Chains A and B, each alone.
Chain A
Amino acid sequence: MPKLTIDGHEVEVAAGTNLIEAARAAGVAIPYFCYHPYLAVVGQCRICMVEVAGQPRLALGCATPAADGMVVKVEDSERAREAREAVMEFLLANHPLDCPVCDQAGECLLQDHSMSEQGSKFTTHMAETRRTFPGYERRLIGPHVVQNQNRCIHCSRCIRFTREISETAALTYKSRGNSTFIDTFDGSSFDDPMSGCATDVCPVGALTLRETRFRKRAWKLRSTPSVCPGCSIGCNIFIDHHERVVYRFTPRENPAINATWLCDHGRFLAESLNEQAYLTPQHQGPGHPVPAAWGEALAAVGALLRGAASLRVVASANMSNEELFLARELFGRQLKGEIAVPVAAGEPRRMKNGRGEWLLAKDAHPNAAGARRLGLDTVDGEGLSRFLYGGAGLTLILDPEAHPFLASPEALRLLRVGTTVVWARRSHPVADGATWLLPTPSIASNEGTFTSSTGAVQRFAEAFAAPGTVHRTATGGMSPDCPTIASPWGAPGEARPLWLVLSALARELGTKTLDLASPAEVFTLMARSEKGFAGLVWEALGGLAPQQSFRERQHVG
């Protein structure tokens, strides 16, 4: 374990740590553009120059391993400071400085460094015409990525990402010297299942996402730590939102699962979180649904549960551990109902962790592993059809999106028998025919834990309270796939997370042990009684506690 001094701070780091990470541990910031902790070190941008005592030349923070007894000067060295200033001048000589119209502004490493180190003192000796790349200013290089080559600082992070992480080697340098630019091989489409990460790693606005650019200024966005609901891998994400509207997902560092990556499938689920078709509880009136207050709905559903001759419950692997646990305790143990958790295999997804290993998704849901750990019956489409074929007096569908089979005509035919209560967020045929329909919000307005297929139990936090009223937009919302968009101006809707409704139903049915005030309380109860969750502490889960917070977000881009 080498011990070294950086700007007078003594720090001990693991062998092989480079000076940038050692300085970070010492609380000293060495600026960098091309360095990325999960990509190969190339030493191209030259901004991380530091002075190492006893070495005649300046050393690169990214490529110099910390050594015992090393004395490093970052801010204290006039020579290094001058060199870094010169590199900044080189980088800005040809940079368009179009921050006001650049979507990266606010989360741009170049802008941040220019502001923090130079502030208003920045001057340039450049009197020449800037280099431009006509025709490359706003070019769609793939289905999601827009390129502006004028802003590129040639750090090669995106190239290294496609070579080392996504392994498509889709991007490359073309031309030479000051005319060097980024392009795809043969000029083909940048069709990469993780293409969004190229925009994350881009330190400037050279690569931006078609889906999210110009939607919201970076400094307006609030980031809530969460877990991607796209598949069973459980990539750690931030939900970036503003005024009760979700704008995007960005990866959150977790070396064991997704390093700092996120696949396009998961990333672009973000805007679907804004869809909210049902705002208030409703029951089937004569020919059309009639809205009702929550009190009325809970009393009615409670009465249905008490009077049901037989009860069957279709739970979902999209539900949190806490919701699955409450459903199992209340409907299974208490009311002796049958519970099935449908799990769809979905498309194959994969993610590379911080050690460079591929993790493969087994299921299309974020919490199939949690359902199995709670001992619930997981069934496939055929199993679900058999389960529904059995018939019952009362059927509860906790999530119509639990399995694609539920949208099939066969499922609707099977559900026509008896009474159904459905919890739903997005428009679904099963919900439309339900006796009672109870609105649930998206994961952004919920709180709980998912169990990843790697076995990690990870927390997701609530970004905002229930989403607002819904506008159908003429242009089709944020993308053609998203027909509706939650409006920041409407009153909060009445959609309530499932765990809250289940605990209210427990109160309604007089089950005091399950009448709990928060997912944390549910989790604590679950950790006490469930072998699979024994020893886990809510506060320590999923990197949300301060002592577990990883390197700052800058790393992502």
Chain B
Amino acid sequence: MEPVLLRARGAADSRAITTYLKAGGYEGWKKALAMGPDAVTKEVSDSELRGRGGAGFPTGRKWSFVPKDHPGPRYLVCNADESEPGTFKDREIIEYDPHQVIEGIAIASFAIKANTAYIYIRGEFVRWARILEETITEARQHGFLGKNVLGSGFDLDVWVHRGAGAYICGEETALLESIEGKRGFPRLKPPFPAVVGLFGKPTVINNVETLACVPHIITRGAAWFAGIGRAKNTGPKLFGVSGHVNRPGVYELPLGVTFREIIEEHAGGVRGGRKLKAFFPGGSSAPVLTAAEVDVKADFDACAEAKTMLGSGGIIVFDDSVDMVEVADNVAHFYAHESCGQCTPCREGSDWCMDILDRLMAGHGLPADPDTLLRICRFASGGMTICPLGDAFALPITSLVTKFRDEFERHIAAATPLPPRKLPVLPWAGPKAGFGI
């Protein structure tokens, strides 16, 4: 497949607006302004573009949920809070071709009639926040943003908002709270952001990669986009491959290729001649797939059939030297650290899982541990929590315990009893302490 989103990667001055314009940049924006908002939304719906942030919700439908007759402001938010372990695709887009994102934001804002758009970028992405600022300035200087864009009468301002280091702020409603200056707590839904969003106004939140697809859809047509991949899973997708492969990196491939092709052909296979043991298909919050499942197609529906999810497309590969209990422990540590602490099952469950797995790794496992882990995960997922962070730690741990139970059992069989707990010496309980002092 010819590269679409990463076509500028490797070129000299790939970020400059001159390079982008030479490649036909902002033609989609001009075309969209001529088409009108409803036609743009229809074109995106027809392309069957699905959100690239993880959930895979149809983008055109998301836009159509914004109330048509709502008076007052609406907002578009570009979610660049890319923090999922194993995911580094948005950074690649911003690094090499950020004008696609700005053009996508412009078209999407026009489609939902928003005059203000925010880019919420992960706090650690200092360099990429600066790149976006420069890109916005360039676009504004060329008249693609600002008041009365290209003489169309449409105004658009784009602002970059940097996060403060919380993974949870990638969840769309926590992200909105964060932009509003509040603590990053996900909101209870309904109401959904399309109705009550940023500052209480209708808001659409789209991922960087999703928005980067939009200009191409408008320029080259929905039919072209729908021709890539397979039905309901259309378009190019960025896969970030990391872990035990020879060539880790970001690869742009049509949806529907198999994970085998991604790992073996594009990422150069498992490094050091070792065997593939398992892999996370879409960031660490997706249930793990084993080597036997490597022929699953990398798209939304095929992954759902395999009881996992494509998520962000961040593939983490494990070779046969990996201890899957340690993987589970690592996952649990991340999510226990990133749980916002708002609702009970996630706050208590993530920490509890971490404690159990830490104990297992320390060689003090108990026979009941795998079942306890499964029970915790069962009641922290599937709608038990306000936001999907409960599922994000529960589903991968559940899959690791069920698919690699033998490794857990091996740890438990080799376990030694917990050393007796050292009680703290209280200042008033020492030998010199007495009553009546």
Which residues in B have their C-beta under 8 angstroms from that of A91?
344, 348
Which residues in A have their C-beta under 8 angstroms from that of B351?
94, 131, 177-178
Which residues in A have their C-beta under 8 angstroms from that of B384?
46, 49, 58, 83, 86-87
A288: Cβ under 8 A from any B Cβ: no
Contact B341 A175 (CB under 8 A): yes
- Binding-face segment, A121-129, A249-257, A343-351: A121-129
Distance A240 CA – B355 CA, assembled complex (angstroms): 44
Q: Within the complex, which residue of B338, B339, B352, B359 is in contact with A93, where a contact is CB–CB below 8 Å?
A: B352
| Contact A57:B382 (CB < 8 A) given known A91-B348, A154-B341, A178-B348 | yes
Contact B344 A42 (CB under 8 A): no
CB distance from B309 to the nearest CB of A (A): 17
Which residues in A have their C-beta under 8 angstroms from that of B356?
127-128
| Contact A41:B347 (CB < 8 A) given known A177-B340, A178-B336, A178-B341 | no
Q: Mark A63-96, 1 if CB is under 8 A from B, else 0.
A: 1000000000000000000110011001101100
A176: Cβ under 8 A from any B Cβ: yes
Contact B344 A154 (CB under 8 A): yes
Chain B's closest residue to A57 (CB) is B383
Chain A's closest residue to B338 (CB) is A177
Q: Within the complex, which residue of B336, B337, B343, B382 is in contact with A44, where a contact is CB–CB below 8 Å?
A: B343
CB distance from B118 to the nearest CB of A (A): 23
A381: Cβ under 8 A from any B Cβ: no
Contact B368 A125 (CB under 8 A): yes
Contact B348 A44 (CB under 8 A): no
How many residues in B have their beta carbons less than 8 Å from beta carbons of A? 35
Chain B's closest residue to A33 (CB) is B344
Distance A46 CA – B337 CA, assembled complex (angstroms): 21
Which residues in A have their C-beta under 8 angstroms from that of B6?
none
Distance A173 CA – B336 CA, assembled complex (angstroms): 17
Contact B348 A86 (CB under 8 A): no
Distance A60 CA – B385 CA, assembled complex (angstroms): 10
Distance A376 CA – B400 CA, assembled complex (angstroms): 81
Which residues in A have their C-beta under 8 angstroms from that of B382?
57
Distance A180 CA – B346 CA, assembled complex (angstroms): 12
A179: Cβ under 8 A from any B Cβ: yes
Which residues in B have their C-beta under 8 angstroms from that of A128?
352, 355-356, 359
Q: Within the complex, which residue of B338, B375, B385 is in contact with A46, where a contact is CB–CB below 8 Å?
A: B385
Contact B344 A43 (CB under 8 A): no
Contact B345 A90 (CB under 8 A): yes
Interface residues of B in 271-306 (CB under 8 A from A): none
Distance A94 CA – B348 CA, assembled complex (angstroms): 8
A292: Cβ under 8 A from any B Cβ: no
B372: Cβ under 8 A from any A Cβ: yes
Which residues in A have their C-beta under 8 angstroms from that of B376?
125
Which residues in A have their C-beta under 8 angstroms from that of B337?
176-177
Contact B344 A44 (CB under 8 A): yes
A45: Cβ under 8 A from any B Cβ: yes
Most buried by B among A58, A127, A180: A127
Contact A90 B344 (CB under 8 A): yes
Which residues in B have their C-beta under 8 angstroms from that of A86?
345, 375, 378-379, 384
Distance A154 CA – B341 CA, assembled complex (angstroms): 8
CB distance from B393 to the nearest CB of A (A): 11
Which residues in A have their C-beta under 8 angstroms from that of B375?
86, 125
Most buried by B among A46, A60, A173: A46
Distance A175 CA – B336 CA, assembled complex (angstroms): 13
Distance A125 CA – B378 CA, assembled complex (angstroms): 14
Contact B188 A178 (CB under 8 A): no
CB distance from A136 to the nearest CB of B (A): 15
CB distance from A48 to the nearest CB of B (A): 11
Contact A177 B383 (CB under 8 A): no
Chain A's closest residue to B342 (CB) is A44
Which residues in B have their C-beta under 8 angstroms from that of A82?
379
CB distance from A129 to the nearest CB of B (A): 7
| Contact A178:B344 (CB < 8 A) given known A43-B386, A127-B366 | no
Contact A93 B340 (CB under 8 A): no
3 interchain residue pairs of minimum CB distance: A180-B341, A86-B379, A57-B383
Residues in chain B within 8 A of chain A (CB atoms): 166, 183, 188, 336-345, 347-352, 355-356, 359, 366, 368, 372, 375-376, 378-379, 382-386, 421
The contact sample of 18 A-B pairs, CB cut-off 8 A, is: A44-B386, A63-B188, A82-B379, A86-B379, A90-B348, A90-B352, A91-B348, A125-B368, A126-B352, A127-B356, A127-B368, A128-B356, A154-B344, A173-B183, A177-B340, A177-B341, A178-B339, A178-B348
Known: A176-B339, A178-B339, A178-B347. 4 other contacts (CB 8 A): A43-B343, A90-B379, A94-B348, A178-B351
